[in-house]
Structure 1
């Protein structure tokens, strides 16, 4: 993709038409869309298998990772963090509560809304899932150089920050 970026920047320096620049950007965005679709597929292949009783559903893993990182959060805070409707988050957190992966607690700051906190079992399961996913990614990325890994991680971080804006 760096070659394509060089062509784009050369086009900008040479005063290419807006139409040509727009066509280039649309092609690059279409290429990115395709690659993102494939990432989802390959990620599933890389992390497929494992004991079913130990695996977490994607939504459970994402919610637990946020609770692990941020500490107790209300349904509203989780909904806002993921740009989801509160009813969706309510259904997803019900799975965590039933599985003993999270628990409801009074707001530590004295607010009215109860908060969700990850349990010891939730911490254990999220750590096991993270290890499993890391092993799958390590297999896929085993022949990448440290520079390629760094560049990819930085690009993904920038992409995710753009999503959260």
Structure 2
């Protein structure tokens, strides 16, 4: 297979992963029963805060690709559930930062555990060396920031 052919194959696989229907299905599975405020819509807010730490709603919106007002609305819902905390931004008195509470951290840990177990089940039929090579190659691909 030529490099161009490999690129096309990878592009198709990424497109399938990024499909809204695919994401929402995974998010629904991960969030089931965690908290009524946690669903496919609010999951990206929690996940991003866990991954990148405290952020303003505007910065978080940019990171997750949602409108600022939508991100703020989701954050408010999560704040009311005790999963997200708003606090003054020490670098900008006009802004507030969103961060995870301990309950939010526990929720993320539970959901990430579910995701890891789901992926382990999916890869269980792969030869171990192939699964490890896939994980290493995917990690390398992502870390090299092909689009960043």
Contact 2:86 2:96 in 1 (8 A): yes
Q: TM-score, normalised by structure 1?
A: 0.65
Contact 2:84 2:104 in 1 (8 A): yes
1:29-108 equivalences in 2 (<5 Å): 31-32=12-13, 35-36=16-17, 40=22, 44=26, 48=29, 52-54=33-35, 56-108=38-90
Structure 1: gaps (5+ residues):
10-20
RMSD of aligned Cα (Å): 3.4
The structure with the largest strand share of the pair is 2
Change (3 A) 1:60 1:157: farther
Tell me the distance in 1 between the aligned counterparts of 2:110 and 2:133.
27
The structure with the largest helix share of the pair is 1
1:125-140 equivalences in 2 (<5 Å): 125-140=107-122
Q: TM-score, normalised by structure 2?
A: 0.70
Contact 1:54 1:129 in 2 (8 A): no
User: Which SS does the other structure have where 2:50 is aligned?
Assistant: helix
User: Which SS does the other structure have where 2:48 is aligned?
Assistant: helix
